[in-house]
C-alpha cells in the first residue's frame, strides 16, 4: 500500500499570532551561537516549490516512499523518469537572498551551525560551511547493493544516453526535484544500474518512510544542546524530523525563533514567529547588524545534465 506522507497538522489550541518585528532575530544574532534549522520555504525564492505552503506540492503529489522504491521496479522507473526530467531544472537552482544572508551570518561568526531539511545544496552554494544535510543531497547517488556513491551529473549523462530524445513537458516540479509526469509520458523510460556492481541506484536522500541515519540525528541533537538560540527558517515543522529539535531546544530552555509566513507546528514552543518573506526578512536583519549580504554567491551546486 502506498504510504501517504503527513500533509498537515491540526493544533489543539489557538496558535499564537505571527509578528513582523525582526528585532528578536537581530538580537539573537548579535549574541552569537545561533543554530539555523531551515526548511523548504527558504528555497522557494530560488524557484523550488515547498511541500505544505500555499500551493504546496503535497496538495497534488505523493512523493516516492522508500518502501515503494525498493520493492517495485515499475515505481523506480517512474521515479527516475520524473527525477531525471526534474533535475534539468532543479540542478540549475541558485541561492537566493535568504541563503546568502545565512552564509553572511556564518562568516561573521554569529552562527553555531546550520541544519537543513532541504536536499538542494543551496546553503553550501551560497557559501555556508559545516551544513548538516538532514535529509541528504539530491546531487549525489548511492548504490543500494555495494554502497558506492557517485555524482548525480554522471547518472544524468548515463540516463540521457539511455533515453535519447526523452523530453516530455511536466505540469509542475516538486521540492525533491521530482517532475509531475503521467504514466504515458514516462513510457518505457530506461533505468540504468550501478556502474560498479549492477545494483539499484537511489538518490542519496531520505525518502518518506525512511529513517534519518541515527548518527546524523545525534549530531544534530548535539548542535541543539550547544546552541544559544534555535532559529527556524521556512519550515512548517509538520513532521517529527525537524520538530524534535524544536522540542529539544524548548525543553532545555533554549529560545526558539521561527521565521515563516504561515503558522507552524512548533509555534507554541517558540518565543515568537515572524511572519515575513524570508529573503527580505533576513536581508533586513543583516542590515540592522551591519552585515553585508552579497548580491550573488559563489556557485558550488552540481551541474545539471
pLDDT in tens, 163-206: 999 988 876 777 667 788 888 988 899 999 999 999 999 999 99
Q: Is the pLDDT of residue 12 over 80?
A: no
Predicted confidence at residue 175, as pLDDT, reads 65
Could you give all domains of the chain from N- to C-terminal order, each with its CATH number?
A: 19-48+95-135+212-296 (3.40.50.1220), 60-92+139-205 (3.30.1600)
C-alpha cell at 102: 545565512
Query: pLDDT band at residue 292, thresholds of 50, 70 and 90?
Result: very high
pLDDT tens digits, one per residue of 18-72: 899 999 999 999 999 999 999 999 999 998 887 545 544 444 456 789 999 999 9
Predicted confidence at residue 170, as pLDDT, reads 74
Predicted confidence at residue 4, as pLDDT, reads 46
46 carries a ligand binding annotation: yes
pTM of the model: 0.88
Active site residues: 135
**Mean pLDDT over residues 150-171, rounded?**
91
55 carries a ligand binding annotation: yes
220 carries a ligand binding annotation: no
42 carries a ligand binding annotation: yes
Query: pLDDT band at residue 304, thresholds of 50, 70 and 90?
Result: very low
Query: pLDDT band at residue 90, thresholds of 50, 70 and 90?
Result: confident
Q: Is the pLDDT of residue 298 over 60?
A: no
Amino acid at each position: 500500500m502506498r504510504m501517504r506522507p503527513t500533509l498537515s497538522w491540526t493544533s489543539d489550541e489557538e496558535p499564537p499570532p505571527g509578528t513582523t518585528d525582526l528585532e528578536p532575530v537581530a538580537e539573537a544574532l548579535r549574541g552569537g551561537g545561533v543554530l539555523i534549522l531551515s526548511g523548504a520555504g527558504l528555497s522557494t525564492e530560488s524557484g523550488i516549490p515547498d511541500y505544505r505552503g500555499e500551493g504546496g506540492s503535497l496538495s497534488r503529489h505523493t512523493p516516492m516512499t522508500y518502501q515503494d522504491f525498493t520493492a517495485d521496479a515499475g515505481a523506480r522507473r517512474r521515479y527516475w523518469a520524473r527525477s531525471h526530467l526534474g533535475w534539468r531544472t532543479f540542478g540549475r537552482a541558485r541561492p537566493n537572498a535568504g541563503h546568502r544572508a545565512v552564509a553572511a551570518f556564518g562568516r561573521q561568526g554569529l552562527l553555531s551551525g546550520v541544519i537543513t531539511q532541504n536536499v538542494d545544496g543551496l546553503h553550501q552554494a551560497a557559501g555556508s560551511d559545516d551544513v548538516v544535510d538532514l535529509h541528504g543531497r539530491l546531487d549525489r547517488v548511492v548504490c543500494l547493493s555495494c554502497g558506492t556513491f557517485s555524482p548525480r551529473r554522471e547518472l544524468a549523462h548515463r540516463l540521457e544516453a539511455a533515453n535519447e530524445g526523452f523530453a516530455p513537458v511536466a505540469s509542475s516540479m516538486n521540492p525533491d526535484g521530482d517532475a509531475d509526469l503521467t504514466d504515458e509520458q514516462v513510457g518505457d523510460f530506461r533505468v540504468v544500474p550501478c556502474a560498479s556492481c549492477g545494483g539499484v541506484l537511489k538518490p542519496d536522500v531520505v525518502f518518506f518512510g525512511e529513517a534519518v541515519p541515527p548518527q546524523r540525528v545525534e549530531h544534530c541533537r548535539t548542535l541543539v544542546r550547544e546552541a544559544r538560540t534555535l532559529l527556524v527558517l521556512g519550515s512548517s515543522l509538520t513532521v517529527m524530523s525537524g520538530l524534535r529539535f524544536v522540542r529539544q531546544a524548548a525543553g532545555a530552555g533554549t529560545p526558539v525563533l521561527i521565521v515563516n509566513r504561515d503558522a507552524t507546528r512548533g509555534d507554541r514552543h517558540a518565543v515568537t514567529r515572524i511572519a515575513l518573506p524570508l529573503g527580505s526578512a533576513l536581508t533586513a536583519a543583516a542590515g540592522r547588524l551591519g552585515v553585508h549580504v552579497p548580491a550573488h554567491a559563489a556557485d558550488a551546486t552540481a551541474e545539471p545534465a
